[in-house]
Amino acid sequence: MTQRYDAVVIGAGHNGLVAAVTLAEAGFHVLVLEAAAEPGGALRSAELTRPGYVHDVFATNLNLFLASAFYSSHAGALERHGFSVATSSRPFASAFPDGTALGVSTDREETLAELGAANPGDAQGWRELDALFDRLAPVLFSTYAARVPSWELARVGLDALRGVGPSGVVSLARLLLSSSRELVDEYLVTDKAKALIAPWGLHLDFGPDVAGGAVFPFLEAFADQRGGMAVGKGGARVLVDALVDLLEEHGGELRTSARVTRVRVQDGRAVGVEVESGEPVLATRAVVAGVTPTALAQVLLREADLPSQSRRALTSFRYGPATMMVHLSLSQPVPWAAGDRLASFAYVHLSPYVDDLSRAYADALAGRLPPEPLLVVGQTSAVDPSRVPDDGHTLWIQVRPLPATAPTRRRGGWDDVVPRYTERVMQKLERYAPGIGELVTGMAVLSPADLERQDANLVGGDSLSGSMHLRQNFLLRPAWGMSGYRTPVRDLWLIGASTWPGGGLNAVSGHRAAQRIIQHGRWAGRWAGRWAR
């Protein structure tokens, strides 16, 4: 039997759920179809290593979500459905081979004192960057949350000119065009201080020398200094569960293990979807696809459904380097060579220096496994002790950047490579935390192939669902003419990390696209009424 809904959302990642909730609140009858056995996309938690030890499987940092317009208007409702966060006042640090470390705290003076103890020039440069953040962050965050292109974005630009003046506009332009190396070289003196900021670029796919790569590290470092770092209390899944409960509260439906095989298009308009089981589902007002551009063009749409130029643009969308995840359960806190204080930071970056980041990035792009990858060591149980029993601890480790394809001629691909590379990762960790191997009580490793198997949007293990380089960012994400979430097929919308503003748990594309669909319906209704009169 054919089923009919106002809107069908493909994919129950956080943006898909945010879009569905927003539409359901506006009175839409909404169905969310998720291919996996559970919702969440790249936002999941599970007992991966030992019973009672909760790990965030992929993403963990909720700062962007907490700063979103959706959260601002739904905080109370999400809390009512069980969502809460634990926040660290020591968001991130970098450790070094000589047994020292530098960390950033929400206590600004503590951070400056630590930087100044090594070199007064670093403390002065940090103050200048901090002041630049105060000056430029309102403009950058407003742009980040705006729909592109739009009159709203134009208004943000005009406000920027008035608010920061000509010199501020020049500073903003220089920042937008700079690499992370250029940024830290301009303001900081020592290699250690520079290594506090530059690693954030590789959380995206910005090696230290990539133009445009300075913005995210700059914003992340100084936003974290102000607000700390937040994770879901009890695991990332608490946010997913709260969004699902909120959707159902407003009459929406979620189906898991329901893979969409095709978007049905008639006369240039999306009218529904087909599910793997064969059942057709009609959508009278919108189909919202939380998939990658390539999946949309090559899997969900037939060749005749898209203009050739649009199809070419979507199929040529580029993905970035891969990521590997290592999850550990420990019997004690990490025995950092830099001292016990380091065990209190949410993230510890092990690179160690900017040149090492550059070499690792070049290796990954050349298809080689970096001898010294960046390790992003997330000490999630230090932030949220409720995730572990008794005195146990968990580590969440991102290994990046890695090649998009396993560098092996064997048929096993990443399955052949990962065991030996995991040994290399653990050896590196041991250099910074001697004796940690003896504390490991459980381990779970997810290769880039595992990431894609568990979430098809993580193509090749790319945690961003697409490179963030300038050629496909801002107005060009995912392609020219589609940055506002509309596709060339009427009533078919594309959301998720492959669209503006890109990766991260930001809730922007799902919320913005849903608002546009609602607004579009209101305008259509007004015109229909006028025509009838």
Q: Which helix (H) or strand (E) holds 123?
A: helix 120-145
DSSP 8-state secondary structure symbol assigned to residue 89: S
Same domain, 410 and 483: no
Answer whether residue 67 is part of any domain.
Answer: yes
Answer whether residue 54 is part of any domain.
Answer: no
Omega before 478 within 30 of 0, i.e. cis: yes
Strand partners of residue 394: 329
Q: Which of 393, 419, 454 represents a domain boundary (last residue)?
A: 454
In angstroms, the CA 98 to CA 375 distance is 17
Give me 84's structure tokens: 């809460």
The CATH code of the domain that includes 154 is 3.90.660
| Residue type at position 153 | L
Rama region for 319: left / alpha / beta (φ>0; ψ in -120 to 50; rest): beta
Give me 149's structure tokens: 């292109």
The pLDDT value recorded for residue 154 is 64
Answer whether residue 55 is part of any domain.
Answer: no
- H-only helix segments in 38-119: 63-66, 69-80, 108-118
Same domain, 341 and 431: yes
Same domain, 97 and 206: yes
User: To which residue do tokens 């004192």 refer?
Assistant: 113
Provide CB contacts within 8 A for 351, sequence distance 6+. 94, 195, 198, 199, 357, 360, 372, 374, 375
Answer whether residue 132 is part of any domain.
Answer: yes
Give me 15's structure tokens: 């943006």
Q: Which helix (H) or strand (E) holds 222?
A: helix 215-227
The pLDDT value recorded for residue 390 is 86
Range of the domain at 472: 3-46+63-86+233-318+458-532
Q: Which of 454, 483, 508 represents a domain boundary (last residue)?
A: 454
Give me 160's structure tokens: 């920027």
In angstroms, the CA 355 to CA 345 distance is 24
The pLDDT value recorded for residue 404 is 92
The CATH code of the domain that includes 248 is 3.50.50.60
In angstroms, the CA 268 to CA 149 distance is 23
Same domain, 473 and 513: yes
Same domain, 80 and 118: no
Same domain, 251 and 328: no
- The model's pTM is 0.94
Give me 416's structure tokens: 């052949």
In angstroms, the CA 474 to CA 247 distance is 30
Same domain, 77 and 161: no
Judge contact between 47 and 270, C-beta under 8 A. no
**pLDDT by residue for the chain (533 residues), tens digit each?**
678 999 999 999 999 999 999 999 999 999 999 999 999 999 999 999 999 999 999 999 999 999 999 999 999 999 999 999 999 999 999 999 999 999 999 999 999 999 999 899 999 999 999 999 999 988 888 777 666 666 566 666 676 667 777 788 888 889 999 999 999 999 999 999 999 999 999 999 999 999 999 999 999 999 999 999 999 999 999 999 999 999 999 999 999 999 999 999 999 999 999 999 888 999 999 999 999 999 999 999 999 999 999 999 999 999 999 999 999 999 999 999 999 999 999 999 999 999 999 999 999 999 999 999 999 999 999 999 999 998 899 999 999 999 999 998 777 899 999 999 999 999 999 999 999 999 999 999 999 999 999 999 999 999 999 999 999 998 899 998 898 999 999 999 999 999 999 999 999 999 999 999 999 866 554 443 444 44
Same domain, 10 and 144: no
Answer whether residue 113 is part of any domain.
Answer: yes
Q: Which of 454, 478, 503 represents a domain boundary (last residue)?
A: 454
Answer whether residue 123 is part of any domain.
Answer: yes
Answer whether residue 248 is part of any domain.
Answer: yes
Same domain, 278 and 195: no
Domains identified in the chain, total number: 2
The pLDDT value recorded for residue 405 is 93
Measured from the Cβ of residue 151, the count of other Cβ atoms closer than 10 Å reads: 9
Give me 387's structure tokens: 């995730």
Same domain, 349 and 206: yes
Same domain, 449 and 512: no
Same domain, 496 and 368: no
Answer whether residue 288 is part of any domain.
Answer: yes
